[in-house]
Chains A and B, each alone.
Chain A
Amino acid sequence: MSAIVKKIPNKLKNRHEIYSFLEDHMAKTYEKIRQEGEYEFGKNLLKTYIIESNYKDPFHFLDSLNGKAIIKWNKIDKDSFLIDYKKSDLEVNFFIDTINPRFWLLHTISPARDTDTVIGKFVQPMISHLDHLWMDRLMLQDIKLEHGDYTKSIGIQYRYGDVFPSSDFGDSFSLRANGAPSDILIKIFSQYPELAGIFAISSVGFKKIFNSDVNENELKLLIEDVYYQGKFTVKGTSIYEHIDTVSDILRKYENLVKIIESEYNMEYTKAEGGFTIKGSPLCIDFKKRIENLDVFVKTVFSAKEPFRLSGFHSKLDSGTYLISCLDLHNGDDLRLELTEDWVRIYLPHDACGNTTMRFLCNLQRYYDANASLEGINSGRIR
């Protein structure tokens, strides 16, 4: 027998009612965990996904799902709607908030395995006009430091062996730690160079208390798990504090994306007596030297997952590789120069800042967790 599908009821008429329902759900799951150490079977945690959208109108997104799944939707207000998604045995629903037209928030209490799958179905297809967030290792560490009073968990996924030719099982590494030792683990991984190179953080969990001067029953708190692709799972007492946390993280991410687009997208424009070049190339520095550039290039620019960069390369007599490629996630065309120690990226004038973040995140996850992004105007960016 399949688990009971939990959903946000369609009878809810406005944001306030939906948030009240979600807060109630959050509080109940938290209370159950607090009292019994685990949450109730079938009672799923509240999850929020952030998705980058290139749709001018969110209803075009709903139209795009026609014929792929059974979709029912209710407009809640001019910027939000509830959707029920059904395909075969997948049945989930989301409250979609598009108040930020570029970055949508999708809240759900449906089972995580199913919602992860459906989000993948939304984002993964070519020309989907949607993308995940791509939070790199430093950003996740910063989130934990800025928002958490206590570290609750840490996830590491270094997957070199999944992508690059390798005969050694040790070339991939994953770890998920819950509880107080998470902080100690972070220190250990940062201190040892052998571990730092595989320290590709995939998630951080933290606890945040808003009123520590009251007794335990009146505590207002959040326990958030933040995943690098913009997924949040939350337990706690206040939906508004959760939304504030998500919004703050999103604001910083959006600023970063905008800095990339405004300062590093390259545009050649006519000017008095000639032309000017706005923007400048970005550079990703590797701490792990690329020993075989040929294999690296053939792997990364093969159009395959996870990079999905379809590229053509040529090698100069100095050993530098020149690469021209198309990002099959969104159709951005990039020009790169690759050496053993760094890759210089020339972004076109209309490139999406998320493209650079995706490339950096994937390089950290699949090649060098220490890879860092630099720009001549800003120094180290990530």
Chain B
Amino acid sequence: MVELGDHTKLMNIMIGLCYKVPKWPNPFLQKNYVISKIELKIHQSNPDIIITNKKKNHSIIFECKSSDNLKESQMAKYDKIRNNPILLIQSGKVPITHKDQFIVDPVYSSFKDLSKNELISKYNMLCIYVKKGINCKIDSLILTRGVFRNTHVNKIFPIDTSKDEPPYRLYPFDENDKELFTIEILNQLQKFAYKQQSFKIPQLLEGCHSLWKFIDDNKKFERKANGILHDLQRSKLKGYLSQDKVSGEWSVIIKPNVRSFQAFQKKCKQVIKELDFKSYQDTLENQD
């Protein structure tokens, strides 16, 4: 069972609401919201997702919370942006048509209902409760606190998702989803071997994570990927994986026949199975 982090799940769930995916609703897209940014680098806040309806001069900041450990400094920053949205425009993060009429609503989304949280109340934040049903399926999304100032948006709640399944490949993993990160790297290694191409880490990450190049703070992924590759080279994929000392390029050698790829796949499956995540995590954390 993969331990896909709650943060990654929430990121996918919220991005999915703004995008065309079979078997998952897209009410924000239907209200003409498009994704402006993900994982922004803004001092003290670093919002996860910003979506914007350009015609309505309205942006929504989604903060995906995997725990109820909320930071006051972050919330204060969101409050500041809400009261003075020009800050978001000045940072070049959203495209709008009328800066004087621009409105920003920050929202906390979580698998817990945060509506009673003290800080949330103090700063009067909006909350979306992502309610799980049986078998960990997502049952519905409920706006448990606050109202959007583009009133059309309020009407989309509650969002019934009981018959749907969120897309989990739009934002495939964050830097802490070690298993999925490794799986994506292994799959890309197969691809580079198949195409008989050597690669550098940015190329690897472009294949691993579709949104990697749009993430403001994407260096953290590079560091983790570098750690994983060196670990694989030293241990489980010794003989397959090598790095050119001069250019720094990596290459994977697999003979171009099905049997050799099957052997490589077997080896990789062993990597996934035998991965000692505890020590692995330590290795990775040492890269930071």
Closest chain B CB from A247 CB (angstroms)? 33
At the interface, yes or no: B150 with Cβ under 8 Å from chain A? no
The 8 Å CB contact of B257, one of A126, A281, A310, A333, is A126
Is the CB–CB distance between A331 and B4 below 8 Å? no
Task: Confirm or deny: B265 has a beta carbon within 8 angstroms of a beta carbon on chain A.
Answer: yes
Instruction: Report chain B residues within 8 Å CB of A280.
Output: 19-22
Residue in chain A with minimal CB distance to B257: A126
From the candidates A273, A310, A314, A342, name the one contacting B190 in the complex (CB within 8 A).
A310
Contact residues in A for B236 (Cβ distance below 8 Å)? none
Task: Given A308-B258, A312-B268, A376-B22, check contact A346 B169 (CB 8 Å).
Answer: yes
Of B33-41, B77-85, B116-124, B152-160, the one with at least 4 CB within 8 A of chain A:
B33-41
The answer to whether B183 has its CB under 8 Å from any CB of chain A is yes
> Is A252 located at the chain interface by the 8 A CB criterion?
no
Across the interface, do B187 and A333 meet the contact criterion of CB distance under 8 Å? Answer: yes
- Name the CB-closest residue of A to B59: A273
Of A75-83, A134-142, A212-220, A321-329, which binds chain B?
A: A321-329
Q: SS class of chain B's interface: helix, strand, loop or mixed?
A: mixed
Min Cβ gap A125→B in Å is 8
User: A273–B170 Cα gap in the complex (Å)?
Assistant: 19
Interface string of A239-280 (1 = CB under 8 A from B): 000000000000000000000000000101010111111001
B22 surroundings in chain A (CB, below 8 A): 280-283, 342, 344, 374-376
Which residues of B from 40 to 66 have beta carbons under 8 Å from A? 50, 52
Q: How large is the interface on A (under 10, 10 to 19, 20 to 34, 35 or more residues)?
A: 35 or more
Q: Which of B5-25 contact A (CB under 8 A)?
A: 19-23
Q: Assess A312 versus B169: contact at CB under 8 Å? Given A127-B194, A273-B94.
A: no
Q: CB within 8 A of A339: which of B20, B21, B165? A: B165
A277 & B19 in contact (Cβ 8 Å cutoff): yes
Separation of A303 and B266 alpha carbons in the complex (Å): 10
Residue A58 at the chain B interface, CB threshold 8 Å: no
Chain B residues within 8 Å of A281, by CB? 21-22, 167, 169
* B191-211 near A? 1/0 per residue, CB < 8 Å: 100110000000000010011
User: A316 contacts B190, CB within 8 Å?
Assistant: no
B162 at the interface (CB under 8 A from A): no
- Interface hits, A136-188 → B, CB 8 Å: none
B250 interface residue per 8 A CB criterion: no
A335 contacts B258, CB within 8 Å? no
A345-378 CB contact bits vs B (8 Å, 1 = yes)?
Answer: 0101000000000000000000000000011110
Chain A interface main SS type: strand
Is residue B137 contacting chain A, with contact meaning CB distance below 8 A?
yes
Tell me whether B261 and A275 are in contact (CB under 8 A). Answer: no
- B9 → A minimal CB distance (Å): 8
Using CB atoms, name the residue of chain B closest to A374: B22
Q: Which of A273, A303, A376 has the most CB of B within 10 A?
A: A273
B180 touches A376 (CB 8 A): no
Q: Does B168 lie within 8 Å of A273, measured CB to CB?
A: no
Q: Which residues of A contact B138 (CB under 8 A)?
A: 318
Q: Is A84 an interface residue (CB 8 A)?
A: no
A336 contact set on B, CB distance < 8 A: 169
> B207 contacts which chain A residues (CB < 8 A)?
333, 348
Contact B94 A312 (CB under 8 A): no
Q: Is the CB of B135 within 8 A of A322?
A: no
Shortest Cβ distance from B47 into chain A, in angstroms?
12
Annotate B135-176 by CB proximity to A: 1 below 8 A, 0 otherwise: 111100000000000000000000000000101111010000
Given contacts A316-B136, A344-B21, 13 further A-B contacts (CB under 8 A): A270-B214, A273-B95, A274-B37, A277-B35, A316-B1, A316-B2, A317-B136, A318-B136, A318-B165, A324-B184, A331-B194, A331-B195, A336-B169
List 8 A-B pairs, Cβ < 8 Å. Answer: A126-B261, A302-B262, A303-B265, A304-B258, A310-B264, A315-B2, A316-B2, A344-B167
Residues on A facing B (Cβ under 8 Å): 126-127, 266, 268, 270, 272-277, 280-283, 302-305, 308, 310-320, 322, 324-326, 328, 331, 333, 335-337, 339, 342, 344, 346, 348, 374-377
